């Protein structure tokens, strides 16, 4: 039997988020039912609520940084039991059969992965509803173990911001002694700094604002490079082994390409929109590369969570009540959060 539960969502692209009721499917043989305790607030939530990517299905119930406790499992579920601390990230399903899925890259499923919200709901029809809600039912293959020793509130953003920055650092094999630049100090950038530091890299925070220097160092940056300072940019030219670019909007590329060493790569994880034109010579003279990266597969996400357990890494967060979500959106847009909002879901249950 389906159950009706409490959620928060938007009825159209102009509407504030408000309380609403949604349906969850009964826990099937391959499913895990989760009582949601915390849910992180990602910039993608705002883009979807406001239909910035022109693909939103309403009502939108966002939330893909879900933490909770298992309350029920189907008969085919062996990896999870009642009471386990678990997480759900950006995906709740994929075909499990295509070449991408077989290589543990469900985020690139050729049939299209099913988003945790705004995806096509294979079970109930209509579209999926995310973690701004009291519970969720998810296929066991898309449920992640959260190490019990880390703070569960701070773990929520690991499910999107964490894996988004972890995956490229691993794919490009960032290792001890590498000089790694992280551009932009927001939800993504602050995780990039923590991970690169824990991997033993020499971490340089690259930012436009000098007042972020102190915070960047507290998070694990060894140096701060102010990108507006041309002399400093020159001093660092052709010196980076790897750059993680988290800038969320279109921007000039040439100054950053100039920082890369020969054969080094800059990976974009923020700007899903047009970039400013850049000079081909910047890449050709030095065989440099620009690449993109999208979240990470389930296996890789679990590896990241296990790494966070071993190194005691979580996000820096500000906890809010569900009712304060609309104000939180405005503050995210103004970059007024250090560095991620996390909703305490008890505030929706009571
Ligand atoms: Zn996200
Ligand atoms: Zn697939």
Nearest CA-CA partner of 184 in 235, 227, 231: 227
Q: Are 32 and 73 in contact (CB under 8 A)?
A: yes
Q: What is the pLDDT of residues 159-176, one digit of tens each?
A: 999 999 999 999 999 999
CA 108 to centroid of ligand 2, rounded, Å = 7
Q: What is the pLDDT of residues 93-116, one digit of tens each?
A: 999 999 999 999 999 999 999 999
CA 233 to centroid of ligand 1, rounded, Å = 31
Instruction: Extract the residue ranges of the chain whose pLDDT is less than 70.
Output: none
Q: What is the pLDDT of residues 208-249, one digit of tens each?
A: 989 899 999 999 999 999 999 999 999 999 999 999 999 999
CA 268 to centroid of ligand 1, rounded, Å = 15
As given in the structure block, the two tokens for residue 99 are: 């070449």
Nearest CA-CA partner of 188 in 46, 67, 316: 316
User: What integer pLDDT is reported at residue 350 of this predicted model?
Assistant: 80
Angle between helices 298-311 and 161-171 (to 10 degrees): 100
Domains and CATH numbers, the chain: 3-160+315-349 (3.90.180.10), 162-292 (3.40.50.720)
Q: Are 271 and 249 in contact (CB under 8 A)?
A: yes
Helix (H, G, I), strand (E, B) or coil at 300: helix
CA 247 to centroid of ligand 1, rounded, Å = 14
CA 43 to centroid of ligand 1, rounded, Å = 6
Q: CA 50, CA 329: separation in Å to the nearest integer?
A: 11
CA 211 to centroid of ligand 2, rounded, Å = 44
Q: Are 127 and 57 in contact (CB under 8 A)?
A: yes
* Peptide bond before residue 68 is cis, with ω within 30 degrees of 0: no
User: What integer pLDDT is reported at residue 1 of this predicted model?
Assistant: 86
Helix (H, G, I), strand (E, B) or coil at 60: strand
Question: Regarding beta strands 91-93 and 18-24, do their DSSP bridges make them parallel or antiparallel, or are they unpaired?
Answer: unpaired
Torsion over CA: 105, 80, 32, 313 (sign): negative
As given in the structure block, the two tokens for residue 283 are: 């890449």
User: What integer pLDDT is reported at residue 199 of this predicted model?
Assistant: 98
Q: CA 329, CA 349: separation in Å to the nearest integer?
A: 21
What whole-number percentage of the chain has pLDDT above 90? 96
Record the pTM.
0.96
For the CA of 90, the nearest ligand: 1
Torsion over CA: 69, 59, 111, 272 (sign): negative
For the CA of 110, the nearest ligand: 2
Q: Are 313 and 150 in contact (CB under 8 A)?
A: yes
Q: CA 100, CA 96: separation in Å to the nearest integer?
A: 8
CA 139 to centroid of ligand 2, rounded, Å = 15
Neighbours of ion ligand 2 (CB under 5 A): 94-95, 98, 101, 109
CA 117 to centroid of ligand 2, rounded, Å = 18
Euclidean distance between the first and the last CA atom of the chain, given in angstroms as a whole number: 24
Residue located via tokens 């604002």: 209
The DSSP element (H or E) to which 216 belongs, if any, is helix 213-219
Neighbours of ion ligand 1 (CB under 5 A): 42, 44, 160
For the CA of 340, the nearest ligand: 1
CA 159 to centroid of ligand 1, rounded, Å = 8
User: What integer pLDDT is reported at residue 269 of this predicted model?
Assistant: 97
For the CA of 163, the nearest ligand: 1
């Amino acid at each position: 039997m389906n159950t009706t539960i409490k959620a928060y969502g938007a009825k159209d692209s102009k509407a504030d988020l408000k309380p609403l009721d949604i349906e969850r499917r009964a826990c099937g043989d391959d499913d895990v039912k989760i009582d949601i305790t915390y849910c992180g607030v990602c910039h993608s939530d705002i883009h979807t609520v406001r239909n910035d990517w022109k693909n939103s299905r309403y009502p939108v119930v966002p939330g893909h940084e879900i933490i909770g406790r298992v309350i029920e499992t189907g008969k085919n579920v062996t990896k999870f039991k009642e009471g386990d601390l678990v997480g759900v990230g950006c995906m709740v399903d994929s075909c499990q059969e295509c070449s991408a899925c077989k290589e543990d890259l469900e985020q690139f499923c050729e049939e299209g992965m099913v988003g945790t919200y705004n995806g096509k709901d294979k079970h109930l029809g209509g579209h999926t509803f995310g973690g701004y809600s009291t519970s969720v039912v998810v296929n066991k293959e898309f449920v992640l173990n959260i190490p019990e020793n880390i703070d569960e509130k701070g773990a929520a953003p690991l499910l999107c911001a964490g894996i988004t920055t972890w995956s490229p650092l691993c794919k490009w094999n960032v290792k001890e002694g590498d000089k790694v630049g992280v551009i932009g100090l927001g939800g993504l950038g602050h995780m990039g700094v923590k991970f690169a530091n824990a991997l033993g890299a020499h971490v340089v925070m690259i930012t436009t604002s000098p007042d972020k220097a102190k915070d960047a160092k507290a998070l694990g940056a060894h140096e701060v490079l102010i990108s507006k300072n041309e002399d400093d940019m020159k001093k660092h030219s052709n010196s980076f082994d790897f750059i993680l670019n988290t800038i969320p909007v279109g921007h000039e590329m040439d100054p950053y390409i100039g920082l890369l060493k020969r054969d080094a790569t800059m990976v974009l994880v923020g700007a899903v929109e047009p970039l400013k034109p850049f000079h081909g010579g910047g890449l050709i003279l030095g065989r440099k590369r620009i690449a993109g990266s999208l979240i990470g597969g389930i296996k890789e996400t679990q590896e990241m969570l296990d790494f966070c357990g071993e190194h005691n890494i979580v996000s820096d967060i500000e906890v809010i009540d569900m009712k304060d979500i609309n104000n939180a959106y405005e503050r995210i847009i103004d970059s007024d959060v250090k560095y991620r909002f996390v909703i305490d879901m008890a505030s929706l249950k009571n």
